[in-house]
Amino acid sequence: MSVSRRALIRAAGTSTTAVTAAALAGCRSGSQDDHGRGWFTVPAETRAPTLCRQCPGGCGLDLRLAGVEAVGVAGNPVHPINRGGVCPRAFSVLRQIHAMDRFRQPMIRSDPGAPLQPLDWNRATGLVSERMRALLAAGRGGRIAVLRAEEGCLRDVVWHRFCRAVTGMRQWVTGDPATAFAMPGPAGIGPAGSLGAVTVDFARADLILSLGVDLFETWASPVHAQRAFAALRRRPGRSPGQLIYSGVRLSHTAVVADRYVPVAPGRQIDLVLALAGHLLADGGLAPNTVARRLAGLDGFRIAAERFANHGMALTATGLSASAWAGLLDRLRLAKAPVVIGPGPGFGSGGRMSAVQAGVAALNLLLGAAEPGGALVHSDPRATADLAVVGDAWPSPVTTLDAAARSVLEAIDGDGLDLLFLSGLDVTRGYPQAASLTAALRRVPLVVGFSTWPDAASDLAHMVLPDAPAPERWVDHVTDRLGGGAVVSVLPPAVPARHLCRDSADVVLGLARSLGGDVADELPWQRYDQLLQTAVAGLFAAGRGAVESAKGTTLVPDLSGAAALWQVLQAGAVWRGDGPVGLSAAVTSRLRTLVASQRTWPSPALSGTVGGLTLHLFAVSTRAWNGLDRQPWLDEHRSVVVPGDPAGWAEMHPQTLAAHGLRSGDRVRLKPNEASATAISLTLRAVDGLVPGVLAVPANLAAGPDPWTLLAALPAGAADWTTVFVETL
């Protein structure tokens, strides 16, 4: 008897199916073996909305739950910030929940350097409030302080009210690390400084000139920026908008841009002034328009006119004739251009620099700050509508380096007896890291709000474990993106795995224990009660709309504040009236900041023989919090070069050859040939880099810290200073 191959396969498949079905018949949910034990139970699968807190964007997420366990994450398609999109950072949410080394309860050290030991919450908060009461009774409230990262939510209000009510207490709030490179100063386009939430509305622009700002990697919200850029390219009835990227390194944003204009560090002010000078000289702008836009800015105008000569512009910027002509032509033809920056390699820390003033002046000249221009307020009334805010938010924000200097002055001056640390890695990533780390060891009591072992817990005498975002109430107030203000409020997506608490609830508890004015300033028992009060303020304002999977509902059409509270908890999002143009008062302050720049320098590259220009850049996959929860992101293959948790340094092949170096060489970097300060890295050849530059990632959680090189330089050194390279 012969059996065909097809029949044999069919018979084998049928037999396998039957055997498998029989074997699984006893493995149904809740089935039992011969001893009456349940083999397994298939948990019900559900989804719970939450927010990503890995950057200031506040993207909406959907956690996939098996029972009560988080087993997956995806973007929330309803949330207006990301509309279902996510970047690699979002996936660290699961790691944060399931990290094996999470703190499971409060911890304390018996002596400096001793290991942390567990204690209960009542004892921990009792010790802190007892120390605070003793200091206040002795009139030493000025020796109590907090150093924390801005969170972009109403936790900032809790801290600000607390510090305001505790007599003499000081606080230093740093701008979020994710955008510290892109928005370093008050005259730049971003949230920091005295201009408030001035941002860019992509929908109003037809040309974006980015001076080193990596929109799609490290800006305020990479996902939102990508969506906005896509909309810029799909403008019904109009030609697609364009993006020009001018920077030191071929980043992902540079690859996506319509044109990449490489420019060396130190040539940034020349580029800004040359562009302005040629726009003034070619007659494309009417004299009365120029007079109106640059009123009171004669210093900038005179400086720009010195660069109106074509040959001088090429020499000063280092650009080729074709690159310069292409850039200038596109800027001339644009009807609604805007300049954003400066990014890394274009400024020096968070101070008001000539480059930042030049960017602000160039935007004024281009009309970006006028009605209809791309510079906008997302929604200036959004935070005022939140009933709990008043004058308590936003808190004054500074850079981490500036905050570190202030903390050092406080410790070396009158001293600090109690310091709270929240949301910051103070041990690396800025020039003063080593000095501040040493100084904090002289503070008698450092209390760190940490979810797992990190820099704060290493320095802390007491650790109060903060619950990760999915295990606590989360809210986000986004008023820094061009699409308008967005408010999200959501309950915990999963039950708490350990004895962790929301840091806001801990601060509210401390306020109650201190009593008096402090308790009056923070009358809420729990953080969700404060959130409910804030939502009632949104409803009372009677404006905006609520977006959910069911559609859009105007706030006045809701039955009351309780109804708004309920729909927000279910995953809906409140949206404001949309972006508005800059007010005359803000534009006037912008002019004042530009006019305060008395000199317009043209920094030139210089250094010792063998020196290279140091350029620090941010790795796009690094998250805002929990940096070491996701080492796999350090190995994420980027557009140009694969990452490495141990750190590396990049050089153009031409530069490597000129210095007798090769890719893979181990080198020692020093501020100068005689300096004892040095870090060791492995070189990599990268084509997408300006020749003569040595680029080093500046935000890795491990490996050599390049900021130590800047710490060894005189005060005021820029992030494009030169370094000396030795072969190991």
Portion of the chain with pLDDT greater than 70, in percent:
81
Lowest mean pLDDT among 251-260, 393-402, 452-461: 393-402
The H or E element spanning position 612 is strand 611-617
pLDDT at 182 over 60: no
Nearest-CA neighbor of 211 among 320, 354, 321? Answer: 354
Task: Give the up-direction half-sphere exposure of residue 252: CA atoms within 13 A in the CB hemisphere.
Answer: 18
Task: Please give the Cα distance from 54 to 154 (Å, whole number).
Answer: 17
Task: Give the up-direction half-sphere exposure of residue 587: CA atoms within 13 A in the CB hemisphere.
Answer: 20
Provide the pLDDT confidence category of residue 6 given band limits of 50, 70 and 90.
low
Burial of 164 (0-12, 13-18, 19+ CB in 10 A): middle
Locate 301 and state its tokens: 């105008």
Distances (CA, A) of 630 to 90, 103, 429, 622, 700: 11, 17, 18, 9, 11
Task: Please give the Cα distance from 438 to 719 (Å, whole number).
Answer: 24
Q: What is the mean pLDDT of residues 634-663?
A: 70
Greatest mean pLDDT among 49-58, 136-145, 251-260, 434-443: 136-145
Look at residue 30 in the predicted model and tell me its pLDDT: 47
The H or E element spanning position 646 is none
* Adjacency order of strands within the sheet including 337-340: 259-262, 242-247, 207-211, 337-340
Lowest mean pLDDT among 20-29, 317-326, 419-428, 657-666: 20-29
Q: What is the mean pLDDT of residues 554-566?
A: 93
pLDDT at 505 over 60: yes
Q: What is the mean pLDDT of residues 215-234?
A: 81
What is the DSSP annotation of 172-196?
Answer: EEEPPGGGTTT--STTSSSSSSTT-
Residues 86/59, Cβ–Cβ less than 8 Å: yes
Nearest-CA neighbor of 103 among 89, 124, 88? Answer: 124
Task: Please give the Cα distance from 39 to 30 (Å, whole number).
Answer: 7
Query: Mean pLDDT across the chain, nearest whole number?
Result: 80
Look at residue 27 in the predicted model and tell me its pLDDT: 47
Provide the pLDDT confidence category of residue 252 given band limits of 50, 70 and 90.
confident
Task: Please give the Cα distance from 95 to 468 (Å, whole number).
Answer: 10
Residue range 342-396, pLDDT digits in tens: 765 444 443 346 788 888 899 999 999 888 888 887 666 777 778 776 665 555 6
Q: Which residue has the tokens 């924390």?
A: 148
Look at residue 533 in the predicted model and tell me its pLDDT: 93
Residues 347/212, Cβ–Cβ less than 8 Å: no
Provide the pLDDT confidence category of residue 646 given band limits of 50, 70 and 90.
low
Q: Which residue has the higher pLDDT, 707 or 510?
A: 510
pLDDT at 232 over 60: yes
Task: Please give the Cα distance from 634 to 628 (Å, whole number).
Answer: 9
Look at residue 163 in the predicted model and tell me its pLDDT: 93
Provide the pLDDT confidence category of residue 635 given band limits of 50, 70 and 90.
very low
Look at residue 141 in the predicted model and tell me its pLDDT: 94
pLDDT at 187 over 60: no
Q: Which residue has the higher pLDDT, 464 or 231?
A: 464
Task: Please give the Cα distance from 480 to 477 (Å, whole number).
Answer: 9
Task: Please give the Cα distance from 531 to 387 (Å, whole number).
Answer: 9
Look at residue 429 in the predicted model and tell me its pLDDT: 75
Residues 206/240, Cβ–Cβ less than 8 Å: no
Q: What is the mean pLDDT of residues 387-411?
A: 76
For residue 60, the tally of other CB atoms under 10 A from its CB is 27
pLDDT at 287 over 50: yes
pLDDT at 219 over 90: no
Look at residue 645 in the predicted model and tell me its pLDDT: 57
Look at residue 623 in the predicted model and tell me its pLDDT: 42
Look at residue 140 in the predicted model and tell me its pLDDT: 94
